[in-house]
């Protein structure tokens, strides 16, 4: 960035010390905090993959690191914000950089760090979602009654099935919760992950589930469950959930966790009817600032 362009930035006109991008090759200049999730090598890789989304104030060492949310290039997540009195100017600078790159949304997640509501209001971030966390324990040991529903394991190399999975995902979830193709590639390649596409008697893809096994299989997580919109209300959600629980149960799971949106009353009723119970101490919120047209939520 040239000196003249830097001077035009709104945060610099307010008399704040100059905020500039941290570029590849400069990772060593940043004094990462003791709680940082980055080491110098990790940060260098991040800078190469996400140019222009890490900004800092050389004079004070304060910084903000932005990156894609769930491999969604159009959504920028505030991965780390390490600052004192310059928190808001740094965040505003990230919003400006994301806008210049044509991004749709900047997100802050309380799953990373919890801040006061007044901070989000001052930064012009609005509450987008309240995420509720549930747990099932003990895990039932039974054979699910699937009727004419059957499940196909989705393998990373099966491109045709992955395309069906992606189409179903985007039809079933609102924009914010879509999985990108890159997210699915990363997810399917992760240790402990299994994804299954549910098919009816005709072979049509009507649901899918994604689960992850942790700690040798003793603890499982239901990452994703979806039913094709035109097939909702036919009991497919219950049967798909029953199948996912059985998969984890057969692998030794003693507890199963999941999360869902507070506004998703249908899913909440399904999970609670099945036996999942809230673990409210783990709930968190997503805050966001739209950079263009607001997407359906």
How confident is the model at residue 33, as a pLDDT? 81
Domain boundaries, the chain: 3-103, 135-284
Which parts of the chain are beta strand (E)?
20-21, 54-56, 63-69, 72-82, 105-109, 126-136, 150-153, 193-199, 205-214, 219-227, 255-261, 277-278, 284-290
The pTM (predicted TM-score) of the whole model is: 0.89
Identify the CATH assignment for 135-284 out of 3.90.1150.10, 2.20.25.90, 3.40.50.720, 3.40.630.30: 3.40.630.30
pLDDT tens digits for range 71-113: 999 999 999 999 999 999 999 999 999 999 999 999 999 999 9
pLDDT tens for residues 14-64? 556 899 999 999 999 999 988 899 999 999 999 999 999 999 999 999 999
Q: What is the pLDDT of residue 12?
A: 47
The DSSP bridge pattern shows strands 126-136 and 54-56 to be unpaired
**Residue found by looking up tokens 């999942």 in the block:** 276
Confidence at residue 4, expressed as pLDDT on a 0 to 100 scale: 37
Selection from 269, 262, 280, 258 nearest residue 139 by Cα: 258
pLDDT at 1 over 60: no
């Amino acid at each position: 960035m040239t000196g003249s362009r830097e001077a035009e930035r709104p945060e610099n006109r307010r008399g704040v010390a100059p905020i500039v991008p941290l570029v590849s090759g400069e990772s060593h200049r940043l004094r990462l905090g003791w709680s940082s999730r980055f080491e110098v090598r990790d940060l260098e890789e991040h800078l190469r993959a996400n140019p222009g989304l890490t900004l800092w104030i050389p004079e004070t060492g304060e910084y903000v690191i932005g990156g894609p949310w769930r491999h969604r290039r159009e959504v920028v997540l505030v991965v780390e914000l390490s600052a004192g009195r310059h928190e808001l100017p740094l965040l505003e600078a990230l919003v400006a950089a994301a806008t210049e790159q044509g991004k749709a949304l900047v997100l802050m997640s309380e799953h990373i760090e919890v801040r006061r509501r007044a901070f989000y209001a001052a930064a012009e971030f609005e509450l987008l979602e309240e995420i509720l966390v549930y747990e099932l324990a003990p895990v039932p040991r039974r054979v699910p009654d699937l009727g004419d529903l059957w499940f196909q394991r989705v393998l990373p190399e099966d491109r045709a099935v992955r395309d069906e999975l992606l189409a179903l995902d985007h039809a079933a979830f609102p924009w914010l919760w879509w999985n990108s193709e890159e997210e699915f590639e990363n997810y399917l390649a992760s240790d402990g992950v299994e994804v299954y596409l549910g098919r009816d008697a005709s072979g049509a893809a009507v649901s899918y589930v994604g689960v992850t096994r942790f700690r040798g299989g003793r603890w499982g997580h239901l990452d994703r469950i979806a039913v094709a919109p035109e097939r909702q209300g036919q009991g497919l959600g219950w049967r798909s959930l029953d199948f996912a629980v059985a998969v984890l149960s057969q692998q030794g799971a003693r507890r199963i966790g999941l999360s869902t949106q507070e506004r998703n009353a249908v899913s909440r009723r399904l999970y609670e009817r099945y036996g999942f119970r809230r673990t409210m101490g783990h709930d968190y919120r997503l805050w966001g600032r739209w950079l263009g047209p607001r997407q359906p939520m």
